[in-house]
Structure 1
Amino acid sequence: MRVWAVANQKGGVGKTTSSIALAGLLADAGKRVIVVDLDPHGSMTSYFGHDPDSLAHSAFDLFLHQGVVPEGLPKQLLLPTSHEQIALLPSSTALATLERQSPGQNGLGLVVSKALAQLWGEFDYAIIDSPPLLGVLMVNALAASQQLVIPVQTEFLAVKGLERMVSTLAMINRSRKQALPYTIVPTLFDRRTQASMSTLRLLRNTYPDNLWQAYIPVDTRLRDASRAGQTPSQFDAKSRGTLAYRALLKHLLAHQLSAQVA
């Protein structure tokens, strides 16, 4: 299993859309994919038609056992999605209480890693949608992943959020055996606006080694896919947004292959 995390310390930059779009394209190619919703807002869970406010069981259950993940629990928590190749480990609003409960509990930073280890042979890819703040949930996402995708809206405030995210990643890498490779993905790009154009130039100048040189455009078909509860490629395989995510996936897979060869 390959594990990718999608994270940024700023909300509204396209994390959930990016997670689901990439998962959908991998699933279309016949890969078995698990999507993990670690955001207490539960946007990914809601996307696939499940209510994070009323779910009896969710990813929160993984954190109730002092850092131990009972055998078989992760599989019991999985829910179906609109794509037969994609399973969902859902979020619930209870995850928002985790930060208050976690002080003094050891081993909580590796709970998701332990859960995915139990599902290793069941799936080809895991894609983790993490919350927009540094805490035990984001730490879990980064600790579990082998590749980090950082969506960044092409506007100035999002770039400030990216600076915080890169700083956080540097801190996390100090506790990892191997630095976590990351790819910055410009999102919500609108070439008609000066803000998008200037932000894209800034990103290319500031992060030349880690920036995907293309971008995800503003595309109402992505919003329509969300409303329909389908992955973008299921809803409209030829939309501008889907084609952009297809190019991004090709880039990420090539990056993954070169890392494996190295």
Structure 2
Amino acid sequence: MKVWAVANQKGGVGKTTTTVALAGLLADAGRRVLVVDLDPHGSLTSYFGYDPDTLENSCYDLFTAGGKVDPELPRSLLLETSHERISLMPSSTAVAVLERQSLGQGGLGLVVSKALEHLSGEFDFALLDNPPLLGVLMVNALAASELLVIPVQTEFLAIKGLESMINTLHMVNRSRRQPLPYSIVPTMFDRRTQASLSTLRYLRNQYNEHLWQAYIPIDTRLRDASRAGLVPSVQDKNSRGVLAYRVLLKHLLQQSMQIEQSA
């Protein structure tokens, strides 16, 4: 099972949309996909029609045994989604207290890795949607992943979040045997605005080596898909956003293949 994390230390940059769009395209192609919501806000959970405020079981349950993961527990947490090939491991409001509870506790950095190992035979891909802050959840996601996708809204306020994310990645890489490869993905691009054009130019100047050279455009059909609880490619397979995500997925699959070959 290939594991990709979708993360940025700024909210509202398109992490959940990117997670769902990529999962949908993989599932459309016949892959079995697990999406994991590690964000206390539960946007991914809400996307598929579940209420994080009322769910009794969620990814929080993985952390309640002090780093040990019962082999049957991850499977018991899975929920159905609107796509028959996508399963959801949801978040809940209980996740919000995890950072405070984990203070002083060791052995919690590999909980998600262990959980995914128990599910590896059931899925082809796992996509991890992260909270916009550094903590035990993001550390878990980065430790479990073989590829990091960093969506960055094409406006200058989002650059700070990217800088923080890169700094976090450098810190995490010190404890990994091999550095975690990553792709920066410009999102919400609007060619009519100077802010989008200038930010994209800045990203190409400063981060070109790790930057996906295209972009995800502003597309109201992505919002329509969210409102309907459908993956974007089911809502409208020919929308501008879906076509862009299709190109992005091809890029990420090629990158993933290169990672395998160099391992």
- The 2-side partners of 1:261 and 1:65 are apart by 36
Shift of 1:227: 0.2
Matched-pair contact (CA < 8 Å) for 1:33–1:125: yes
Q: Paired residue for 1:188?
A: 188
- The 2-side partners of 1:112 and 1:258 are apart by 24
Q: Paired residue for 2:11?
A: 11
Q: Paired residue for 1:85?
A: 85
Whichever residue aligns with residue 255 of structure 2, its letter is H
Tell me whether 1:75 sits opposite 2:75 in the alignment.
yes
Q: Paired residue for 1:258?
A: 258
Tell me whether 1:116 sits opposite 2:116 in the alignment.
yes
Shift of 1:86: 0.3
Name the count of aligned residue pairs: 262
Matched-pair contact (CA < 8 Å) for 1:10–1:161: yes
Unaligned runs of 5+ in 1: none
Percent identical pairs in the alignment equals: 72
1:92-111 superposed matches below 5 A: 92-111=92-111
Q: Paired residue for 1:219?
A: 219
- The 2-side partners of 1:100 and 1:254 are apart by 39
Shift of 1:15: 0.1
Q: Paired residue for 1:50?
A: 50
Tell me whether 1:200 sits opposite 2:200 in the alignment.
yes
Task: Provide the TM-score with structure 1 as the length reference.
Answer: 0.99
Q: Paired residue for 1:22?
A: 22
- SS of corresponding position for 2:209: coil
- The 2-side partners of 1:259 and 1:203 are apart by 23
- SS of corresponding position for 1:183: strand
Q: Paired residue for 1:161?
A: 161
Q: Paired residue for 1:239?
A: 239
Matched-pair contact (CA < 8 Å) for 1:67–1:105: no
Shift of 1:258: 1.8
- The 2-side partners of 1:38 and 1:65 are apart by 17
Shift of 1:103: 1.3
- The 2-side partners of 1:90 and 1:248 are apart by 25
Task: Tell me the alpha carbon deviations over residues 117-167 of structure 1, each in whole angstroms, 9 at most, x when there is no partner.
Answer: 000100000000000000001101101100000000000010111011000
Shift of 1:32: 0.3
Q: Paired residue for 1:172?
A: 172
- The 1-side partners of 2:7 and 2:258 are apart by 22
Unaligned runs of 5+ in 2: none
Q: CA RMSD in A?
A: 0.5
Task: Provide the TM-score with structure 2 as the length reference.
Answer: 0.99
